[in-house]
């Protein structure tokens, strides 16, 4: 049987050493690399194509979660962190397991066994309950304060207050901000739910605007209005969108 | 227990009191001296109005005399003088006004002259009663005020104590440190043991921390180094610490744990805002009457500044303001790639006053 390729991503050397040590006892696992931040990890994941990653959450510049957003087809994930408050989000991300530091060898073993099961595609008894939990948790919405996007292997961190507007483009959305235009593999629904409620409004099926960027709202035609932004963009607002806009302004 | 009441609400009571006294005055005149009703009413009104107005002046005299600081004989002498003057004004002006109103009525004025002594004694008694009531009121008021002040100070202390307790031992720091130890027990047991001891000493100092009293810079530095040593194990060569400490500053008194949250911030921002090496610099020197402590780190200005809400810094500001009573002891300097917090700590003497 071919060995499972594993990548360890953590900014603390002793933490990486411990995972490496624990992994030494599994003979069907190959440690393909170690990374100490999200930038290295993005590159390594693209090059090595690991099947399983051990991922810390709090890391320099971009968090483990933000890293995952940049990967279109992420590998299986075991989170390793000292923060217990991110467990919900981790399961939203379809994580195999969530290890709270410091963790024991047996707890680690359990997590890796679960990962191997998933990789070999054997259905686990845990799958269904975890799926249900995930579906419930998907409702829990946390507002974001920045968006991380990718240009090739370059990572761009876009604070939400620098965003002008967000536009639907097929399966993607385009984010127009003071840092340029960036495509992101997310839905409009996601942005509508996660962008700060008092700063962004969905004015149309295909546009969410930053309210602080609005210069004027003019009548355009029957039931439509034209929203003019500081950056010069002119966007149509539907009757529904105009109503939402008026409520907030 | 002590409620502070609004003194303006007592004014009607005061006026009512004099209306009552005027009524008594009128009755005495009518029944005892058979004074003509109109003259009796006039006299009662004139004398009591004058006393009422003089009484208000007395109130402010009592209120603003710093009777805490002078001794009893001085107070008595002062009041003998003031009472003599008050009675003179009261009776003198009343007398002449009544002489005018009565049209120098012979019978009335004879009666008046015959009762001067009784009137003056009655006036003195009223003076004494007024002053005693005023003293009681003011004392009560001061007590209530002090109580309120003490309570709010207590609340503030309690709050800041809680905040700094919360700020001290961050669970994430603790769990990450324990994870490092867990790893070192396998790869480097000697270092693991060293770290357990560092962590224990760090915890012991943090747990013994109270908001009272003063520690010295060298004590605080010992504690900070324990913390930084633990963080250096966690982050390896990504964390560099540079210290320049002037010898004269070693025994300078400062509030315990005041530097800890600032150094923590520095490490956190340095490490999480830059993927490369981050340097934390600690400079201390004595400048005249102040010890200047500078804590700085390099940071990436393009980072969105997501980490930290600045509560550590605002707690430090609040504590320093409370302890020294001076507002501008903290300075935050943010230029291109360096974030610096500068504290200017006065010298607190043994008598708990600021030395000048």
Q: Which residues of A are less than 8 Å from B300 in CB distance?
A: 61
- Please name the residues in contact with B235: beta carbons below 8 A apart, sequence gap of 6 or more: A11, A12, A13, B271
Q: Quote the domain boundaries for residue A196.
A: 146-248
pLDDT digits (tens, 9 = 90+) for B61-101: 877 776 556 677 888 888 888 888 988 998 888 888 888 88
The pair of three-digit structure tokens given for residue B124, joined into one six-digit string: 């003195």
Q: Do A23 and A61 share a structural domain?
A: yes
Report whether B130 contacts B60 (CB < 8 A): no
Residue of B234, B302, B303 with shortest CB distance to A12: B234
* Among candidate residues A137, A165, A190, the one where a domain is terminated: A137
State whether ipTM is beyond 0.95.
Answer: no
For A39, which residue in chain B has the nearest alpha carbon? Answer: B275
Q: Same structural domain for residues A178 and A95?
A: no
CA distance B172 to chain A (A): 6
* Alpha-carbon span B66 to B77, nearest angstrom: 15
Residue A157 sits in the same domain as residue A128 = no
Q: Are B29 and B40 in contact (CB under 8 A)?
A: yes
Phi, psi (5° rounding) for residue B303? -70, 150
Last residue of a domain, one of A100, A116, A137: A137
b/e burial code for range B333-352 (CB count within 10 A of at least 16 → b): eeeeeebbbebbbbebeeee
Q: Are residues A171 and A82 in the same domain?
A: no
**Stretch (H or E) spanning B207:** helix B189-207
Please name the member of A58, A157, A159 whose beta carbon is closest to the beta carbon of B272: A58
Note whether A130 and A159 are same-domain residues: no
Element (H, E) at B214: none
Question: Are B186 and A12 inside 8 Å of each other by CB?
Answer: no
Query: Do A193 and A94 fall within a single domain?
Result: no
Please report, in tens digits, the pLDDT of each residue of chain B (356 residues total).
Answer: 445 556 677 888 888 888 998 898 888 888 887 888 888 888 888 888 988 888 888 888 877 776 556 677 888 888 888 888 988 998 888 888 888 888 888 888 888 888 888 888 888 888 888 888 888 888 888 888 888 878 877 777 766 665 655 555 678 889 999 999 999 999 999 999 999 999 999 988 887 776 667 899 999 999 999 999 999 999 999 999 999 999 999 999 998 888 998 999 899 888 888 778 899 999 999 998 999 999 999 887 765 554 455 777 888 888 888 788 787 899 999 887 889 999 999 987 544 555 54
Q: Examine the domain organization and report whether A29 and A132 are in the same domain.
A: yes
A90 and A152 housed in the same domain: no
Note whether A184 and A125 are same-domain residues: no
- Give chain A's domain count: 2
Give me the domains of chain B, ranges plus CATH numbers: 7-155 (no CATH), 213-346 (3.30.565.10)
CA dihedral sign, ordered A83, A86, A88, A94: negative
Contact B338, B297 (CB under 8 A): yes
B272 inside 8 A of chain A by CB: yes
Minimal Cα distance from B233: which residue of A? Answer: A14
CATH number of the domain that A59 lies in? 3.40.50.2300
CA distance B119 to A155: 97
DSSP 8-state symbol, A107? H
Contacts B234 to A, Cβ<8 Å: 12, 14-15
Q: pLDDT tens-digit profile of B171-214? A: 888 999 999 999 999 999 999 999 999 999 998 888 777 666 78
Q: Considering A137, A161, A176, which residue would you say is the last residue of a domain?
A: A137
């Amino acid at each position: 049987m071919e060995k499972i390729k594993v990548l360890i991503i953590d900014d603390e050397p002793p933490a990486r050493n411990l995972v490496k040590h624990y992994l030494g006892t599994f003979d069907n696992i190959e440690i393909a690399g170690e990374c100490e931040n999200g930038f290295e990890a993005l590159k390594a994941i693209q090059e090595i194509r690991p099947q399983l990653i051990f991922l810390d959450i709090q890391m320099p510049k971009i968090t483990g979660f933000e890293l995952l957003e940049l990967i279109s087809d992420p590998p299986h994930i075991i989170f390793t962190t000292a923060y217990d408050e991110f467990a919900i989000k981790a399961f939203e991300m379809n994580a195999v397991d969530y290890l709270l530091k410091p963790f024991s060898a047996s707890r680690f073993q359990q997590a890796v066994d679960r990962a191997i099961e998933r990789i070999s595609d054997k259905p686990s008894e845990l799958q269904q309950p975890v799926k249900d939990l995930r579906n419930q948790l998907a409702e829990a919405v946390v507002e974001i304060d920045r968006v991380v996007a990718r240009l090739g292997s370059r990572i761009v961190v876009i604070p939400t207050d620098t965003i002008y507007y967000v536009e639907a483009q097929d399966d993607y959305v385009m984010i127009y901000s003071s840092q340029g235009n960036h495509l992101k593999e997310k839905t409009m629904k996601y942005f509508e739910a996660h962008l700060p409620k008092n700063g962004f409004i969905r004015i149309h099926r295909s546009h969410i605007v930053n309210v602080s960027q609005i210069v004027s709202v003019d009548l355009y035609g029957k039931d439509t209005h034209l929203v003019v932004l500081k950056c010069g963009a002119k966007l149509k607002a539907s009757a529904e969108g105009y109503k939402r806009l008026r409520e907030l302004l | 227990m002590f409620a502070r009441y609004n003194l303006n609400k007592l004014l009607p009571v005061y006026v009512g009191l004099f209306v009552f006294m005027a009524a008594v005055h009128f009755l005495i005149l009518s029944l005892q001296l058979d004074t003509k009703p109109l003259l009796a009413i006039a006299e009662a009104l004139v004398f009591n109005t004058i006393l009422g107005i003089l009484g208000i002046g007395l109130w402010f005299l009592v209120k603003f005399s710093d009777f805490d600081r002078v001794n009893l004989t001085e107070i008595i002498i002062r009041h003998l003088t003031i009472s003599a003057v008050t009675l003179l004004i009261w009776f003198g002006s009343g007398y002449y006004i009544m002489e005018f109103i009565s049209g120098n009525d012979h019978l009335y004025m004879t009666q008046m002259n015959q009762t001067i002594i009784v009137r003056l004694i009655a006036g003195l008694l009223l003076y004494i009663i007024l002053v005693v009531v005023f003293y009681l009121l003011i004392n009560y008021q001061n007590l209530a005020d002090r109580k309120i002040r003490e309570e709010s100070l207590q609340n503030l202390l309690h709050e800041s104590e809680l905040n700094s307790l919360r700020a001290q031992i961050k669970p994430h720091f603790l769990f990450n440190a324990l994870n490092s130890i867990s790893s070192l027990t396998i790869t480097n047991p000697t270092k693991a043991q060293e770290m357990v001891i560092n962590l224990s000493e760090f915890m012991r100092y943090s747990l013994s921390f109270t908001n009272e009293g003063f520690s010295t810079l060298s004590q605080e530095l010992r504690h900070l180094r324990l913390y930084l040593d633990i963080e250096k194990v966690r982050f390896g060569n990504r964390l560099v610490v540079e210290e320049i400490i002037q010898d004269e500053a070693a025994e300078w008194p400062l509030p315990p744990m005041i530097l800890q949250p600032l150094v923590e911030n520095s490490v956190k921002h340095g490490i999480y805002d830059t993927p490369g090496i981050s340097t934390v610099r600690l400079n201390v020197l004595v400048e005249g009457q102040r010890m200047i402590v500078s804590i700085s780190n390099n940071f990436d200005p393009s980072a969105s500044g997501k980490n930290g809400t600045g509560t550590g810094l605002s707690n430090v500001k609040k504590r320093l303001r409370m302890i020294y009573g001076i507002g501008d002891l903290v300075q935050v300097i943010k230029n291109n790639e360096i974030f610096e917090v500068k504290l200017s700590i006065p010298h607190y003497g043994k008598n708990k006053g600021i030395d000048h």
